[in-house]
Amino acid sequence: MRRGNAIPLVTKRLIVHNSFNKTLNALKATNIRLPQQSSPVTMDYQWINSSPTDDLVFNLEDIGGYDLDVKEGEMISHDPNYLIAGYDESINKFSALEGTAYYTSHSLVFLAPEMYVPINQLTMYFLTRSKELSDRSGGSLIYSLQPAIDSQKMYLDDKVDFIFSSVPSNSILFIDGPIIAGDVYTHLVSKFPGFHERNIVPCFFVKNSDSNMVIDNIEEVRGRYNSDLHWSYSVLRDGQRSCFFKYVDRNNARNTKIFCYIKAFGVSPLRVEFYTTSFEKYSNNITNILNLIYYLLLVQGNPRNPQIRPIAIAEAYARETLKIVNFEQTMRSVGLKPTMNQERFAW
Amino acid sequence: MEWIVLGEKNGKIRLVSKNNTNGILPKGSYLTIELTSTGSKFILRVDDTEQSEPYSPSPLIVDMDLSPLKQDQMCQNIISAYRVRDIYNRSDGLIDFIPPQSIARRSTQAEVDLALGGGTSGPKVFVATLHSSQNQLLKDESGKHITATLPVDMFFHQVLVCGKTGSGKTVATKYLAQYFTESLEGAVLAINVKDVDFLKMDCPSRTTNPAVVEEWETLGEHPRGVENYTIYYPANIAIDTTQKVTPEVCQKITLDVTRIEPEALTGLLEGISDTASMNFPNIFRHWQEEQRSNKNGKFTFGEFVLYFSEGVENGREFPTMNSRGDSSFVTLHKGTCDNIIRNLDYALDFFDNKDAKCIDETDILVPNKMSIINVAGNKGIQFGSILLRDLLHRIVDAKDKQRSRTNMLIIIDEVHQFYNTDSSREALGDLDTICRTGRSKKIGVIFSSQNPTDIPRGLANVINTKIFFKSDANSAKSLGLRVTDDEMESLRKGFAVASIHELSQLKVLKFPLSYSGVFEKE
């Protein structure tokens, strides 16, 4: 993890995925009218991350709180030998009669010396239940009987590919959202060796979760709390982490992760998750990383939205880059006409 | 360094700095936007400029005595700017848009010249900026100072220079005077009322300040004294040579009773009524004409004092002659007579001094010559006011009758000091006429004062150029300058806010150090 060399140079980029133009051209060819107004999509991980009842969760340390060292975290944040990155995304949905377009900005932000360096990727997919439309577009308009779920799978695929291709070696990578279980997990697992070979440590963050992995599985706390966050909020003091827990999917022994909760200040704690292999490989550095997380939570300093700073900045860039492409203008430029309602209520 | 156009709001173009810009472009700077698609060019003047923090970091981390992320400390410069000059070819009567996301850069000297709209001949000054109590000289991308050329016509539309002591107004006036003498081949007449302010302009300025030297180099100039330079001083006053005034350029002068304009003598009268002031010149004119015909022009001011005293003893009835030559009689009140006698007695040593020269317009209206009348010292102001009035009459007359084509610049330094007697006020009253007709006669006047209220009422209306060094902001505002109290208070020496005749876009400027007569302490 720690290197003697300077961190690699990252340059700001905006990548337009080839899905973008392909989808636009297909919309034009099939004369589909998209509405002007979009609605934001909140990623729902529950369907892919729900825990089977026979999952196994056990603690790797004594149950309780462990102090974090913010000064240590501060030092690491200023250490030029670490490249720190944060990932978040923003998704807009355009619902038309013929289907739904998903317009996504994947956003990575690196803490380069003196400045944040963003890399963003824009993708667009149109999912339709009409096989005929999809066939007519040669598959550019995607046939799907479960557009909400399929769109999220596509999003996850893009996310993993984007991160994998954009994050340089020797990075600590903070990702908003949990480690995914289920089918998609298999896809992610296939990338682990690549991450590890390149010395990239992915850390995942979950906030506002109603997960009950700890309170359902750990004997000492069972039945006493509403959720894991309720438990961790009650037992942790500011600047503490909980003990580490290991989650194992009994149905698929490869699906494992190690997590703990961090309480930075008097608001709901966050869950930090590691791939088991990452945790094992970088076990000597895990404490440092958690100290760094604590520091970065304080840097963000927003009790209404506890978030680590690189992810918060990535989120801001994701939102902004979605605005870069003037959607209505783009529609017109490829010859797509707005719907009648839009024309009528344009002003 | 570059800025990105965000759009227009309330008539001003809003811009934000690009990443490669690591500072705030101060108010008063100029930006240029070029549109390659249409070939149009827009020059903007920064009217408001501020720092913005795009990441809005929380203060929590620093409050906990932890160091912040450097990345969070990134700042941007948000600018509001006026369009001051558009250069485009369209002929349909519309005005080009400045599209958002256009790139602006700092304007070059040529572009600033275009924006200011000034000519190429005239005294050069530095375009300056004012932001957060800091004055700076405007620079282009290569770091060169941006200059502006003050229009020559400015001189003949009258100039007011205001500022507290030490703010730079006299130095600026010297700079303008030297330009007028050397480059316009004009004649300068300056009234020195204080110390040796204007008495050493035959000597090159001296400084070790590298910034001043750099400014001179930018202008391609060097320190030098004024070559044709004479200091005139009253014979009854000794010039202070201990302050290194060159004795060779000093000329003792006296008033010549045989030639003096009768109206100029009102400068002598203090504490008498306006009616008596009107009668006195006519009494003197009658006596002067009589002496001219009877004594072949050989008579003295002492003889007039005797004549007046005898008249007082003989019933106070005096023959008079008005300016048309009509004769009459007037009887003065005893108290008035006593006052006049006291004033005449006081002025005896202004006249008819041997070894002293009597000067007239031919001594002043000389191309490339700078004449200084030193009135600093005891009785100096009274002498100066009589002499100045006489000279002004003669200069105007010479210009009216086209006996001279030399451009003339009259400088009244420290007007407030010169204006503190009735006599000098009379002299300044004559300037009113000159100010109103100066443009056609090519006579300019520079009033230099600590406070614009020192300028005779009515004159302020005919002064077209106002230059305010550090002084009272309300005074400047009352004369139409847009400046805040803080901005005025923060003006450093040599920097000024201004409203320049035919150069309305120039708001903040700095005068170069005069090439002559300024000696900075080493």
- Please state the ipTM of this predicted complex: 0.79
Nearest CA in chain B to A314: B55
Higher pLDDT, A33 or A178: A178
The pLDDT score that the predictor gives to residue A261 is 96
Which among B96, B91, B114, B89 is positioned nearest to B32, based on CA atoms? B114
The mean predicted confidence, pLDDT, of chain A is 82
Asked if A299 lies within 8 A of B59 by C-beta distance, the reply is no
Cβ pair B413, B190 in contact under 8 A: yes
A chain contacts of residue B74, beta-carbon cutoff 8 Å: 114-116
Top residue of B69, B70, B72, B75 to mutate, by most chain A CBs within 10 Å, is B69
Give chain A's end-to-end CA distance (angstroms, integer).
Answer: 55
pLDDT surpassing 50 at residue B435: yes
Mind listing the pLDDT tens digit for each residue in A49-97?
Answer: 544 455 688 889 999 999 999 999 999 998 888 899 999 999 988 888 8
B58 min Cα distance to partner chain A (Å): 5
Task: Inform me whether the C-beta atom of residue B485 falls under 8 Å from chain A C-beta atoms.
Answer: no
Amino acid residing at B513? L
For position A185, what pLDDT does the model report? 61
CB B131 within 8 A of CB B21: no
Q: 3-state secondary structure string, B119-153? A: CCCCCEEEEEEEECCEEEECECCCCCECEEECCHH
Quote the pLDDT of residue A186: 63
Assess whether pLDDT exceeds 50 at residue A4: no
Confidence (pLDDT) at B515: 94
Cα(first)–Cα(last) distance of chain B, in Å?
Answer: 38
What is the percentage of chain A residues whose pLDDT exceeds 90?
36
Under 8 Å between Cβ of A66 and A241: yes
Can you give the pLDDT at residue A342?
A: 35
- Which chain A residue shows the shortest CA-CA distance from B20? A115
pLDDT of amino acid A208? 80
Q: Can you name the residues that pair with B503 across neighbouring β-strands?
A: B500
Q: Is the per-residue pLDDT at A336 higher than 60? A: no
Among the listed ranges A32-46, A243-257, A263-277, B483-497, which one has the minimum average pLDDT value? Answer: A32-46
User: What pLDDT does B43 receive?
Assistant: 95
- The encoded tokens of residue B382 equal 């009274």
Q: For the whole model, what pTM was predicted? A: 0.76
> What is the residue-averaged pLDDT of chain B?
86
pLDDT of residue A231: 93
With cut-offs at 50, 70 and 90, classify the pLDDT of residue A2. Answer: very low
User: How far away is chain A from the Cα of B17, in angstroms, using its nearest Cα?
Assistant: 15
- B61 contacts in chain A (CB < 8 Å): 295, 298-299, 301
Q: How far is B101 from chain A (nearest CA, A)?
A: 11
pLDDT digits (tens, 9 = 90+) for B363-408: 999 999 999 998 877 777 778 878 888 888 888 888 888 888 899 9
Position A3 scores a pLDDT of 41
Q: Does B66 touch chain A (CB under 8 A)?
A: yes
Query: At residue B175, what is the residue type?
Result: Y
Query: Which chain A residues contact residue B20 at CB under 8 A?
Result: none
> Is A298–B67 a contact, with Cβ atoms under 8 angstroms apart?
no
What distance in Å separates the CA atoms of residue A70 and residue B81, rounded to the nearest whole number? 45
The distance of A288 to chain B (nearest Cα, Å) reads 17
Q: Which residue has the higher pLDDT, B239 or A131?
A: A131
Taking the Cβ of residue B64 and every Cβ of chain A, the question of whether any pair is shorter than 8 Å is answered with yes
Q: Which residue of B has its CA nearest to A294?
A: B61
Do B71 and A74 make contact, defined as CB atoms within 8 angstroms?
Answer: no
Backbone angles phi, psi at A78, to 5 degrees: -95, 0
pLDDT value at A290 more than 80: yes
Give pLDDT, residue B280.
87
pLDDT per position as a tens digit, A247-261? 887 777 777 889 999
CB atoms B66 and A74 under 8 Å: yes
Tokens of A159: 């996310």
Choose among A71, A111, A302: nearest Cβ to B69: A111
Which chain A residues have a beta carbon less than 8 Å from that of B62? none
Of B14-23, B125-134, B160-169, B431-440, least confident by mean pLDDT is B431-440
DSSP B316-375: SEEEEE-TT--EEEEE--HHHHHHHHHHHHHHGGGB--TT-BPP-HHHHS-TTEEEEEE-
B17 contacts in chain A (CB < 8 Å): none
Sketch out chain A's domains with CATH numbers.
15-25+56-339 (3.30.2170)
DSSP of A54-89: T-EEEESS-SSEEE--HHHHHHHHH-TT-EEEEEEE
Confidence check: pLDDT of A6 > 70: no
Contact (CB<8Å) B74/A114: yes
In angstroms, how far is CA B197 from the centroid of its own chain?
14
> How far is residue B355 from each of residues B234, B241, B359, measured CA to CA in Å?
11, 19, 13
Q: What is the mean pLDDT of residues B160-167?
A: 89
Q: Which of A193-202, A334-343, B85-94, B158-167 has the lowest mean pLDDT?
A: A334-343
Which residue of B61, B65, B76, B101 is the best one to mutate when testing the A interface, meaning the one whose CB has the most A CBs within 10 A?
A: B61
At residue A278, the 3 state secondary structure works out as: helix
Residue B182 has pLDDT above 60, yes or no: yes
Please report the pLDDT score of residue A142 as a whole number.
93
Instruction: Return residues 67-126 of B near A (CB < 8 Å).
Output: 67-72, 74
Instruction: Band the pLDDT of B247: cuts 50, 70, 90.
Output: confident
Q: What is the largest CA-CA distance in chain B?
A: 101
Nearest neighbour of B70 by CB, restricted to A114, A295, A300: A114
B72 to chain A: nearest residue by CA? A115
Q: Which residues of B495-520 are buried (b: 16+ CB within 10 A; e: fewer)?
A: bbbbbbbbbebbbbbbbbbbbbbbee
The verdict on a CB contact (< 8 Å) between B57 and A299 is: yes
Please answer yes or no on whether B61 and A301 come within 8 Å at the CB atom.
yes
Phi, psi for residue B222 in degrees, rounded to 5: -145, 160
Q: Which of residues 138-197 of B touch A (CB under 8 A)?
A: none
Q: Chain A contacts of B60, Cβ < 8 Å?
A: 298-299, 301
What average pLDDT score do residues A101-125 get?
Answer: 91
Q: Is the pLDDT of residue A346 over 80?
A: no
Phi then psi for B449, rounded to 5 degrees?
A: -155, 160
pLDDT tens profile A165-222? 899 888 999 998 888 655 556 666 677 778 888 889 999 998 888 788 888 888 888 8
Higher pLDDT pick, A340 / B361:
B361
CA nearest B388: which of B440, B434, B452, B346?
B434
Q: Which one of B19, B55, B60 has the shortest CB-CB distance to A298?
A: B60
What's residue B346's pLDDT?
81
Say if CB B366 and CB B226 are below 8 A apart: no
> Given pLDDT bands bounded at 50, 70 and 90, which one contains residue A333?
low
Task: Tell me the average pLDDT across B274-279.
Answer: 76
